[in-house]
Amino acid sequence: MNITVEDVTFSYRSTPSLDGVSVILQESETLGMIGPNGSGKTTLLKCINKILQPKQGKIMLDSKEVKKMSRMEVAKHVGYVPQNSVDSPNALPVFEIVLMGRRPHISWQSGEKDNEKVWKALKLLNIEDLAMRDFYELSGGEQQRVLIARSIAQEAKVLLLDEPTSNLDIKHQLEVMELTRKLVTKEKLAAAVAIHDLNLACRFCDKIVMMKDGKVYAVGDARSVLSCESIRDVYGVEVMVNFDQKIPYIIPVESLH
């Protein structure tokens, strides 16, 4: 499934958050969304998932316009992985959290097929042993795996991940990004990842969209997007850009005032 975002504009009351954003996400592709806080990354993910409604422009899931689809219909195709949170404030076992992903496919109550989908997702993410554990007792990396499993059980063809590596140690950051890349390739998914770590974006994303003040500053592969000049202009930081097998890696030097 492909996502086409075309000239999308969105404002929170009178404050613009997205201003004429256009980007394409294709099947079997991982798109890294980078930019400073407040640049519009999370807002764009929520517009794609129909949590928010753009003021102008359109978003297409293949040939269907999101605006004309119900939230439940969108949920059959798009899985949203928020920043370490679930929809219930109450303690729930992991199995129940992942089962939530079956909601778009359940008319009244879950059945054997739904349970099978949950176990398949748990197995795919290698967290079967966590099935009866309380979600809130898990580590940050384990929680992220559970939330991704929920999207897999949802049978989503598009994954939207909002800062999935935030508050994780380096080992779990790598695990989450490796897992996302593996799922995109093996299951032929499309994934959009809002991420702050530029080096993780360079390593794991096929394409990068750099955002600034609600606009697309640049889009392309990491080599073309992440230059010293672009990072200085967007982040206000002086960096060095080196290359490892043609993949850039960023070394911060100083913050510009």
Q: Mapping DSSP to helix (H, G, I), strand (E, B) and coil, where does residue 247 land?
A: strand
For residue range 212-256, what is the model confidence (pLDDT) as tens digits? 999 999 999 999 999 999 999 999 999 999 998 888 999 999 998
- Is the pLDDT confidence value at 134 over 90? yes
- Is the pLDDT confidence value at 65 over 90? yes
CATH number for the domain spanning 9: value is: 3.40.50.300
Adjacent-strand bridge partners of 166:
none
207-212 mean pLDDT: 97
Its domain, for residue 79, covers 3-227
- Is the pLDDT confidence value at 136 over 80? yes
- State how far the Cα of 118 lies from the Cα of 99, in Å rounded to an integer: 6
Q: Name the phi and psi angles at 6, rounded to 5.
A: -130, 110
Which residues touch 85 (CB under 8 Å, ≥6 apart)?
A: none
Residue 206 domain-assigned?
yes
* pLDDT of 59: 97
Residue 248 domain-assigned?
no
> Would you place residue 83 in the very low, low, confident or very high pLDDT band (cuts 50, 70, 90)?
confident
Q: How much is the pTM?
A: 0.89
- Is the pLDDT confidence value at 106 over 80? no
Q: How many domains does the chain have?
A: 1
Residue 247 domain-assigned?
no
Q: Where are the beta strands (DSSP E) in 90-182?
A: 158-162
Are 226 and 250 spatial neighbours (Cβ–Cβ below 8 Å)?
A: yes
* pLDDT of 160: 95
- Is the pLDDT confidence value at 87 over 60? no
Residue 29 domain-assigned?
yes
Are 148 and 187 spatial neighbours (Cβ–Cβ below 8 Å)?
A: no
Which residues touch 167 (CB under 8 Å, ≥6 apart)?
A: 84, 140
* pLDDT of 241: 94
* pLDDT of 2: 94
- State how far the Cα of 188 lies from the Cα of 10, in Å rounded to an integer: 30
- State how far the Cα of 241 lies from the Cα of 83, in Å rounded to an integer: 29
Residue 144 domain-assigned?
yes
Residue 240 domain-assigned?
no
Lowest mean pLDDT among 38-42, 59-63, 136-140, 206-210: 136-140
Residue 244 domain-assigned?
no
Residue 234 domain-assigned?
no
